[in-house]
Amino acid sequence: MLSFNPSEVRIPNSHFIGGIAVDGGTGIDVKRPSDNQSYASVPNATPDLVDQAVENAYRAFKESGWADLSPRDRAKAMKRWANLIENDVNTLAQLESVGSTRPISAAVNWDVPFCAEGIRFYAEYADKCGGEVIPTQSDHLGMTITEPLGVVGAIAPWNFPLVMASWKVAPAIAAGNAVVLKPSEMTPFSVVRLAELAVEAGIPSGIFNVIQGDGLVGDTLARHPMISKVTFTGSTHTGALVMTACAQSGTKPVTLELGGKSPQLVFDDIKDIDKVARRIAGAITTNSGQVCVAGSRLLVQSGVAEQLIERISSVFEEQIAQSTWQDQATLSPIISAKEVDRIDSVVRKTVEEGANLYTGGCPLETADSSAFYKPTILTDVDMSMGVVRNEIFGPVLCVETFETDDDALSLASHPSYGLSAGVHTADLNRAMRMVKSLDAGTVWVNRYGRSWDFAIPTGGFKSSGIGKDLGRQAYEANRRVKSVLIDFSE
């Protein structure tokens, strides 16, 4: 049994600076999404405390020897860290689950192991990427060498606290940098335990600091003169503010993984409609659609539309809405009661605009609260409606039908987003045409969603982001390139 009592979980409600817990700042009330109950408070850092965290990280970068350590030795420490994370799965999973939208079964079986494996993956990258020798005249030597940036500021979202933190922290630390991480004030605690385990693994104190607080703390972090780069995952609007802060205080490079409104194109040549229906349903019900790559726009060829929508609706009915600390839960709560109201308002407005509510369309009452939203299907929609244009961040699937491949591509095109897309077809030629034509940073064919392929980068086009998380690209983005030309003719 994975179920647990949420009141028995020890909450590390502090900053983590220089290898120790640090108090300071006015408390922010933190609620459990599953029942909307306050269960802890987290300190909202002052500018002086942000400065302390960054300066401590900078001293660690300069004085601890981490940046100068042989890459294999950095890798060894990070592998120890990954092993400690796996061994601490019960503690980490309960911390992750109690205050976030992640059911305990998902946290145990996916979030914590995925976090550990991502750290292990980047540990192996520590000695795999470097400079190169450049052709030049025979009595010269041209080359590039790479160096760590210094202190990387990381701002992580609330929807997958541990996983998103690992995406940012692991490549930066493997590349020899120090990191100051600001988690979301709504899900602030599991990453403190992650940082404690880093020190236990032998990563020097100060190389991984955690500073708690709201958006103003994130802005202060991004603007700090000792921060050499900022990596952020969140909304497109906030990403633009982060980019502005970095431009006004540096300038500093940024990696931004932002919003999406991702289409899933289903053609009438699919072989197993039940399998596709489960795939489509999973792409919008995982974490209750609170995923930047959620497959929220279903574009289906008219010949199979009615049957597919019916099957998806049936899969929706199988979802079990329970508190995240109950091991039978499969449908995540919405992060807050305010967000439940916002999602419901969007759905009701869309129906008023002429859309057809096929299923769902209301909050879902449970024994604890109404912090859940019933998986919803809206048909008869188009791009003029906000529900199709805008990221909803809830379990709301918009359905449009098409006749030809060109129609599908036209519907798939979004005026601002280009994060991801899915293609479901038995025709390889068609699949490749779609892959080439879709304006998205990631295209999945006959599957949907990320896997354990850490070597494949992720990141969007247009307003969906700049740069890449995961892959070699994420590691290289945490190193700077120095060009060297040596004249040995004398």
Does 185 qualify as catalytic in the annotation?
no
Does 257 qualify as catalytic in the annotation?
yes
pLDDT at 47 over 90: yes
Q: Tell me the pLDDT tens digit for each residue of 111-163.
A: 999 999 999 999 999 999 889 999 999 999 999 999 999 999 999 999 999 99
**Catalytic site residue from 196, 257, 339, 391:** 257
CB neighbours of residue 300 within 10 Å: 26
Q: Tell me the pLDDT tens digit for each residue of 273-323.
A: 999 999 999 999 999 999 999 999 999 999 999 999 999 999 999 999 999
pLDDT at 345 over 80: yes
Sheet hosting strand 297-301, strand order edge to edge: 356-359, 376-379, 396-402, 297-301, 263-266, 420-424, 442-445
pLDDT value of residue 250: 87
Give me the phi and psi of 323, to 5 degrees please.
Answer: -55, 150
pLDDT value of residue 451: 86
Q: How much is the pTM?
A: 0.95
pLDDT band at 415 (very low <50, low <70, confident <90, very high): very high
- CA 477, 252, 466, 391: dihedral to nearest 10 degrees? 130
**Catalytic site residue from 292, 339, 391, 400:** 292
pLDDT value of residue 277: 98
User: Is 390 in contact with 261 (CB distance < 8 Å)?
Assistant: yes
Residues 6+ apart with CB under 8 A from 10: none
